[in-house]
C-alpha cells in the first residue's frame, strides 16, 4: 500500500520510498495543490474578509472557489493577485502539516465566519483532520505538498468562472479562479504558446473556416451537419477504410437507425443505459416501442443469427458505418468530440475461441495501417485485463478469459506495440485493447478500440456447429479504428491544423488565373488535372494574383498553379506549394505525375 507523506515527515517505519517530482503526475499534483494554498493566501491578504472554500489541483494547474461577498472581483484583478503570489513564493516559506481536533478546526473557521469550511469540517471524522501552515497562512488540508513556496517560480492565473458551492445550483454562486504554476519561467512560456497553438487549431474554428461542418439550433444541439466539403472528406475516409477492410475479409452490412426496445432489453443496454438515453419512440396504432440505436452490435448479432453457421464459415466480419445516437447533457457537448449523433466505423467479428489470436493480429494490422496513412506516428496502446481478485465482476468462463487476454498480449507483442497493461480495466464482458495517439501538440487522444465480448453471444444465443457436430458459442470482437468519424475528423483537424495529407484534401489544387483573359487556359488545365484524378478548382475572379495566393494559402490548398500569358503560350503552369513557395514552371503532365507519386507515397495499399 502506498502512503503519501510530506517531504518533511520523519520516516519512522521500514519500507520503500518513492520520491515524486515535477516529472510525475503525483509530483505535479503536489506542486499545484501547494500553489492553490499560495493563491488562497494572496487572496486573503489582498481581500480581507474573502471566504475560501475548496481549491484542488486539476489536470493542468489548480483552482480555488471563493466567496468574495460584496467585493467585486474581475479578470482585471488577476494580475495583482499573481504579483502577490510571486512575492509569497519568493519568501520560500516551508509547508508544514499538523493535526487538529474537530473542535479546534471548527473554532478556527467559526471565528472567521467561514460557513463553507465549517460545513466541510462537520462532515469529517474527528482525528482525521489536518491543517497546513505556511508563512502566516493556514488552510484545511489533507496534505501532499512541495517542501516550500520558493519552488514555484512562474505563476499564471488563467481565468475566472462562476461555480456553485458543492456544484449545486440551489447553493450560492462562488468565484472560481483558475491558475497554473511551473518550476521554471521557460515552462510557463512554452505552455502558454501551446495553448495559443491549440486555440488556432481548435477543430470548431477550423471546421468553420474550411466549411466542413456546421450546427443548427433548429436541427438540435450536438447533431453535426456536414457541408459538401466535409461530406467529401468523410466519404474519402470511409472509402479508404472500406477498401482496406474488403482486402481484410470484411463484408459490409447496413442496419436501421432504430430498433425495437426488446432488442436492447436482450442486449442488456436498456437495463444499463435506458434511463439516461433518448426515450423510446412509439407507433401511433400498434403500441410498438422503438429506441434510437445507441450501438450497432445488437443489430449485427441478429444478422449473424439470420442463418446457421459451421466452424468452417468462421470468422465472419460484418462492417458498417453505422450512425448511433446517445444522449449527452447539453452542457457536455463539444464540437465534434462530444455529440449526440455520430457514425462509428464499426465492425463485429464472430470467430471461434482458437481464432482470437490471429483475428486480433489482423485488426491491429488494420489499425496501424489507418494511423500510418493519416500521419499519426506517435501512439501507445493500453491492454485492459480483468481484476483477478473480483471474479464476480465478469461474465464468461475463466478459461476463455485467459485465452482472450493471452491473445491480446500475444498480438500486442507480435506487432511490436508500445503498450501498457491495466489490470481491472477490462469491461465486464471482456478484455480490450485501446489506442491512444499523441497529436502534433503532444496532447493525448483515445482513438481506436478492439474489444472481446463473451456477453452478447450469450444474450443473443449465437452459435456455430463445431467439427464435433455440436453447437458452440462464437466469440465476438468489436472494433473501430477511427472510433467515430466525427471524433476522428476533429482530432485529425487539430493534429494537422487543417493541412490534411494530400490524398485526403477536399481540394488539392487551386488554379489561379493572372486575369480573366486566361480563363480558357485555366479551364483546360483543370480538365487535364481531372485526367490525373486530381481535385482542383479555378479561381478566375477579377482580383490581384497576390490576393488570390493569400486566400488559397489561408484555405490550405496544398498546391497553387498560376496561369498567365507565358504559361498559356507554352502550355505550362507555375507551381507554388502551400507554405513553401515557388516550385518553378512545369508541364501539366509533369505536375500530374508529381502529385500522383506524392499520393502514392502517403497511402500505400493495405496488404493483408
Ligand atoms: Zn495542502
Ligand atoms: Zn459493438
| Average confidence (pLDDT) over 305-311 | 97
Whether omega before 134 lies within 30 degrees of 0, making that bond cis, reads no
How many C-beta atoms surround the C-beta of residue 597 within 10 A?
10
pTM of this structure: 0.80
What percentage of the chain carries pLDDT values higher than 90?
81
Task: Give the pLDDT band of residue 215 (cuts 50, 70, 90).
Answer: very high
Q: Please indicate whether residue 439 or residue 313 has the higher confidence score (pLDDT).
A: 313
Whether omega before 349 lies within 30 degrees of 0, making that bond cis, reads no
Statement: residue 444 has pLDDT above 90: no
**How many Å lie between the centroid of ligand 1 and the Cα of residue 4?**
12
Distance of CA 327 to the CA centre of its chain: 18
| Average confidence (pLDDT) over 197-201 | 89
Instruction: Report the alpha-carbon distance of residue 7 to residue 145 in Å, rounded.
Output: 8
**How many Å lie between the centroid of ligand 1 and the Cα of residue 72?**
27
**How many Å lie between the centroid of ligand 1 and the Cα of residue 127?**
17
Residues annotated as catalytic (active site), given as ranges: 297, 326, 344, 346, 348, 432, 478
**How many Å lie between the centroid of ligand 2 and the Cα of residue 498?**
30
Ligand closest to Cα of 319 equals: 2
Ligand closest to Cα of 453 equals: 2
What percentage of the chain carries pLDDT values higher than 70?
100
**How many Å lie between the centroid of ligand 2 and the Cα of residue 558?**
37
Evaluate whether 325 touches 343 at the Cβ level (below 8 Å): no
Ion ligand 1: residue ranges with CB closer than 5 A? 132, 141
* β-pair partners for 99: 130
Statement: residue 19 has pLDDT above 90: no
| Average confidence (pLDDT) over 521-550 | 94
Q: What is the pLDDT of residues 120-167, one digit of tens each?
A: 999 999 989 999 999 999 999 988 899 999 999 999 999 999 999 998
Ligand closest to Cα of 134 equals: 1
Ligand closest to Cα of 41 equals: 1
Ion ligand 2: residue ranges with CB closer than 5 A? 297, 478
Q: Please indicate whether residue 11 or residue 360 has the higher confidence score (pLDDT).
A: 360
Q: What is the pLDDT of residues 411-424, one digit of tens each?
A: 999 999 999 999 99
Ligand closest to Cα of 6 equals: 1
How many C-beta atoms surround the C-beta of residue 124 within 10 A?
15
Statement: residue 271 has pLDDT above 90: no
Would you state the pLDDT for residue 5? 82
Instruction: Report the alpha-carbon distance of residue 190 to residue 192 in Å, rounded.
Output: 5
**How many Å lie between the centroid of ligand 1 and the Cα of residue 6?**
10
Q: Please indicate whether residue 19 or residue 204 has the higher confidence score (pLDDT).
A: 204
| Average confidence (pLDDT) over 493-498 | 92
Statement: residue 263 has pLDDT above 90: yes
Query: What is the chain's mean pLDDT, rounded?
Result: 93
Least confident of 52-56, 92-96, 148-152, 368-372: 368-372
**How many Å lie between the centroid of ligand 1 and the Cα of residue 153?**
18
Evaluate whether 198 touches 183 at the Cβ level (below 8 Å): no
**How many Å lie between the centroid of ligand 1 and the Cα of residue 16?**
24
Cell of 580: 513553401
Q: What is the pLDDT of residues 32-81, one digit of tens each?
A: 999 999 999 999 999 999 999 999 999 899 999 999 999 999 999 999 99
**How many Å lie between the centroid of ligand 1 and the Cα of residue 34?**
6
Instruction: Report the alpha-carbon distance of residue 494 to residue 466 in Å, rounded.
Output: 48
Statement: residue 1 has pLDDT above 80: no
Amino acid at each position: 500500500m502506498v502512503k503519501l507523506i510530506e517531504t518533511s515527515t520523519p520516516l519512522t517505519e521500514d519500507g520503500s520510498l518513492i520520491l515524486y517530482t515535477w516529472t510525475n503526475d503525483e509530483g505535479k499534483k503536489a506542486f499545484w495543490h501547494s500553489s492553490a494554498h499560495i493563491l488562497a493566501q494572496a487572496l486573503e491578504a489582498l481581500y480581507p474578509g474573502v471566504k475560501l472554500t475548496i481549491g484542488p489541483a486539476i489536470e493542468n494547474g489548480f483552482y480555488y472557489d471563493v466567496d468574495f461577498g460584496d467585493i467585486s472581483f474581475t479578470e482585471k484583478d488577476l494580475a495583482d493577485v499573481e504579483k502577490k503570489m510571486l512575492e509569497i513564493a519568493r519568501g520560500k516559506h516551508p509547508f508544514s502539516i499538523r493535526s487538529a481536533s474537530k473542535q479546534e478546526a471548527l473554532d478556527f473557521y467559526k471565528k472567521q465566519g467561514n460557513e463553507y469550511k465549517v460545513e466541510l469540517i462537520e462532515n469529517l471524522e474527528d482525528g482525521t483532520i489536518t491543517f497546513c501552515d505556511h508563512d502566516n497562512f493556514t488552510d484545511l488540508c489533507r496534505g501532499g505538498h512541495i517542501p516550500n513556496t520558493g519552488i514555484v517560480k512562474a505563476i499564471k492565473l488563467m481565468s475566472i468562472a462562476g461555480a456553485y458551492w458543492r456544484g449545486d445550483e440551489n447553493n450560492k454562486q462562488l468565484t472560481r479562479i483558475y491558475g497554473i504554476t511551473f518550476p521554471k519561467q521557460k515552462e510557463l512560456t512554452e505552455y502558454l504558446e501551446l495553448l495559443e497553438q491549440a486555440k488556432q487549431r481548435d477543430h470548431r474554428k477550423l471546421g468553420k473556416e474550411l466549411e466542413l461542418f456546421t450546427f443548427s439550433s433548429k436541427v438540435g444541439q450536438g447533431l453535426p451537419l456536414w457541408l459538401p466539403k466535409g461530406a467529401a472528406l468523410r466519404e474519402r475516409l470511409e472509402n479508404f477504410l472500406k477498401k482496406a477492410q474488403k482486402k481484410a475479409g470484411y463484408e459490409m452490412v447496413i442496419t436501421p437507425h432504430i430498433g425495437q426496445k426488446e432488442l436492447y432489453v436482450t442486449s442488456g443496454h436498456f437495463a444499463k443505459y435506458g434511463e439516461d438515453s433518448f426515450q423510446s419512440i412509439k407507433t401511433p396504432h400498434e403500441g410498438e416501442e422503438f429506441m434510437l440505436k445507441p450501438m450497432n452490435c445488437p443489430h449485427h448479432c441478429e444478422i449473424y443469427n439470420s442463418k446457421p453457421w459451421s466452424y468452417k464459415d468462421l470468422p465472419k466480419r460484418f462492417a458498417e458505418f453505422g450512425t448511433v445516437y446517445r444522449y449527452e447533457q447539453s452542457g457536455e457537448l463539444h464540437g465534434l468530440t462530444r455529440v449526440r449523433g455520430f457514425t462509428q466505423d464499426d465492425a463485429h467479428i464472430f470467430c471461434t475461441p482458437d481464432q482470437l489470436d490471429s483475428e486480433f493480429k489482423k485488426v491491429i494490422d488494420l489499425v496501424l495501417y489507418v494511423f500510418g496513412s493519416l500521419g499519426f506516428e506517435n501512439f501507445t496502446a493500453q491492454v485492459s485485463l480483468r481484476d483477478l481478485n473480483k471474479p464476480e465482476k465478469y461474465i464468461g468462463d475463466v478459461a476463455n478469459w485467459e485465452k482472450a487476454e493471452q491473445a491480446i498480449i500475444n498480438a500486442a507483442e507480435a506487432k511490436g506495440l508500445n503498450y501498457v497493461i491495466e489490470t481491472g480495466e477490462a469491461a465486464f464482458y471482456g478484455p480490450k485493447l485501446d489506442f491512444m495517439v499523441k497529436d502534433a501538440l503532444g496532447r493525448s487522444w483515445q482513438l481506436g478500440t478492439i474489444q472481446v465480448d463473451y456477453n452478447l453471444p450469450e444474450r443473443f444465443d449465437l452459435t456455430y456447429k463445431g467439427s464435433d457436430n455440436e453447437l458452440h458459442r462464437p466469440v465476438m470482437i468489436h472494433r473501430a479504428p477511427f472510433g467515430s468519424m466525427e471524433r476522428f475528423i476533429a482530432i485529425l483537424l487539430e493534429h494537422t491544423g487543417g493541412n490534411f495529407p494530400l490524398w485526403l484534401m477536399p481540394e488539392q489544387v487551386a488554379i489561379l488565373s493572372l486575369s480573366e483573359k486566361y480563363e480558357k487556359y485555366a479551364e483546360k488545365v483543370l480538365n487535364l488535372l481531372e485526367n490525373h484524378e486530381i481535385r482542383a478548382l479555378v479561381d478566375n475572379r477579377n482580383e490581384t494574383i497576390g490576393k488570390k495566393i493569400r486566400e488559397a494559402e489561408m484555405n490550405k490548398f496544398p498546391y497553387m498553379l498560376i496561369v498567365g500569358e507565358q504559361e498559356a503560350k507554352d502550355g505550362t503552369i507555375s507551381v507554388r506549394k502551400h507554405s513553401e513557395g515557388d516550385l518553378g514552371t512545369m508541364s501539366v503532365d509533369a505536375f500530374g505525375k508529381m502529385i500522383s507519386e506524392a499520393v502514392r507515397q502517403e497511402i500505400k495499399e493495405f496488404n493483408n
